[in-house]
Structure 1
């Protein structure tokens, strides 16, 4: 096999990085797979025309990255790539009532405080946005459409009004599927949601928004808690019915 010449000029660190990159590329390309032994130190020294010190440091860099391991008396072996840890909220079964309840409890812990902060920090532009989002929910309900998207947008507007971006990031991460009636019945819309139910939800939303607009943080927290804990009660009743 023809030797791959490494540039003679430059500092040793440059040579180390180049050799490390060359070996990394070979591992990524599958030339050396998990469990395979890398060429010996002497072989790498000859193949890349570098010193043993450069080889050792390049291999040490690969070891530090968890790509290879040295085995006493056997050599250096390629490791199986570690499986990336699962991202949170990626494997949620929204068809399960128990899962919806879990998410409602989590939302309550987060959104109650978001509503309180919004009452203290909301800007005039955010006031207009929040009012528009509440109007959109009411309009969708009157038209007999699915209100879940508009509902989520209202909650997101409240989170933005907290002026702590982490609240909105949290809601955006878990997405509109957290709106319970959508989670339990993706086809729900119009009359299937129930006029009385939608009227109750609209009244709860109005209490939250009006408290925020009055800059009443205590009332805003109470209204958001009442709204989300009311949803929990409704779905616990469904759960009892499903298991009874």
Structure 2
């Protein structure tokens, strides 16, 4: 077998076997040729074959069975990504998420109050203004609302908070689920109440008051649970399907 430039002979054999497996020449559960046969096929030493097989085993592509040979691994069943089986029209699903968000985002607000940079302050102010502008123009506010919460998560300067929100997505905003299901628009009083809570959160962060930021976020998300239940009850009375 001709060695590929820039690779050792072990790497060349390893990649050749990997391609054969990926191309289906050896299907999951199939036994690879014997070490002697592979040595002959690739025209290399047994040591090269053993090291190439060891590399494939480390990658989880093959497994050695005592006295039986080397077999292509059967792919493990993939577990679904978290938060993918949620029904945002069900009270239980949304309340579960709001409870989880309360645990995560209250601390995010406190950390943002400690750590936010001047540039992040500007982003927070702009995001708060975007929600206000959408509300005043009568446009949907869900995307701007989510962007504000994401800006707070980013202001923690711990990327895991933003990753958490991004993984769940904008449907964490309760009224988004109703709007996407053709529910009537949410009242202006509802929007104004939420915006006042947003302003309290952002003000506390800008003032570097972590206790106030934590409490303002907790009040906001606890209130969201109550408001969501109310919205769903209203929607049910108007005949909107909830499940």
TM (normalized to structure 1)? 0.83
Q: Which residue in 2 is equivalent to 1:150?
A: 144
Q: Which residue in 2 is equivalent to 1:215?
A: 208
| Unpaired segments ≥5 residues, structure 1 | none
Q: 1:49-198 maps to which residues of 2 (within 5 A)? A: 49-186=43-180, 192-198=185-191
Residues 20, 61 of structure 1: 8 Å contact kept = yes
Please give the root-mean-square deviation of Cα atoms over the aligned residues, in Å.
2.7
Residues 182, 188 of structure 1: 8 Å contact kept = no
| Unpaired segments ≥5 residues, structure 2 | 237-241
Residues 113, 205 of structure 2: 8 Å contact kept = yes
Change (3 A) 1:34 1:215: closer
| Count of aligned pairs | 234
Change (3 A) 1:221 1:14: same
Residues 28, 73 of structure 2: 8 Å contact kept = yes
Residues 112, 205 of structure 2: 8 Å contact kept = yes
Change (3 A) 1:122 1:54: closer
Aligned partner of residue 185 in structure 1, secondary structure: helix
Change (3 A) 1:218 1:70: closer
TM (normalized to structure 2)? 0.84
In structure 1, which of residues 175, 185, 199 is the aligned counterpart of residue 192 of structure 2?
A: 199
Residues 175, 228 of structure 2: 8 Å contact kept = no
Q: Distance in 1 between matches of 2:221 and 2:148?
A: 14
Aligned partner of residue 180 in structure 2, secondary structure: coil
Q: Distance in 2 between matches of 1:226 and 1:80?
A: 50
Residues 119, 214 of structure 1: 8 Å contact kept = yes
Q: CA deviation at 1:6?
A: 4.3
Report which of the two structures shows the higher radius of gyration computed on alpha carbons: 1
Q: CA deviation at 1:187?
A: 5.3
Change (3 A) 1:51 1:232: same
